[in-house]
Amino acid sequence: MNPIIAPSMLAADFGNLQRDVELVNNSTAEWFHMDVMDGVFVPNISYGPSIIKAMTKHTNKFIDAHLMIVNPDKYIEDYKNAGVHNLTVHYEACDHLHRSVQAIKAAGMKAGVALNPHTPVHLLENIIQDIDLVLIMSVNPGFGGQKFIENAIHKVSQAKDLIVQKNSSAKIEVDGGVNTENGRRLVNAGADVLVAGSFVFKSENPIETIEKLRNCAL
């Protein structure tokens, strides 16, 4: 089965943002992935709900926002109003994760939980049935273009086992250094959604690259 491809707009050309939104619109990618960074939880700053809202005006595709920020609960309504469909928060950033997940769902969005490379999958055991997505970080969050961490493939397998064991319907997403080679192994391990930024937008033909990534597991 083809994975869902979610190009990361962090790697887009912000001087030609509408052009790159249209590029994704014209590709076989099903999702847009929005990386939100606050310079506190991660050592970089990206964009917030106003920029996402500007992008969502030009697409009908699924908007997948990944909050790499402290105090994410404060901004849930802002991202709902920006047009986000799935809102992912970090396990490491939430003191009361279950409450955060409930608040996201109460706002009418799907809820995801991201795990940093050092965070073990088993910590999701008591919430896996309540969430719609597990995001396995395959780089340390904060910057695009990093090298893929091989242990992420093992973590995808662990997440898949936990989802099956708990009869959860959560999807598994992987973000960081994804390409066609490791993408194939990730999908074979159980990944449902592949996020790719630099690999897509820095390629000679991004639309063709997205299609190759979609077909990487065939």
pLDDT tens digits, one per residue of 99-150: 999 999 999 999 999 999 999 999 999 999 999 999 999 999 876 667 899 9
Given the residues 20, 35, 38, 64, select the one marked as catalytic.
35
Query: Which regions of the chain are under pLDDT 70?
Result: 143-145
3-class SS at 43? Answer: coil
Q: Is 130 a known active-site residue?
A: no
Which one of the listed residues 20, 38, 132, 175 is annotated catalytic? 175
Say whether 73 is catalytic. no
Q: Which CATH number is correct for 4-214, 3.20.20.70, 3.30.420.10, 3.30.70.1890, 3.40.50.2300?
A: 3.20.20.70
Going from N- to C-terminal start, the domains of the chain cover 4-214
Q: Is the pTM of this model over 0.85?
A: yes
**Residues in a beta bridge with 196:** 7
Contact 76, 104 (CB under 8 A): yes
Taking alpha carbons only, the member of 107, 109, 108, 153 closest to residue 133 is 109
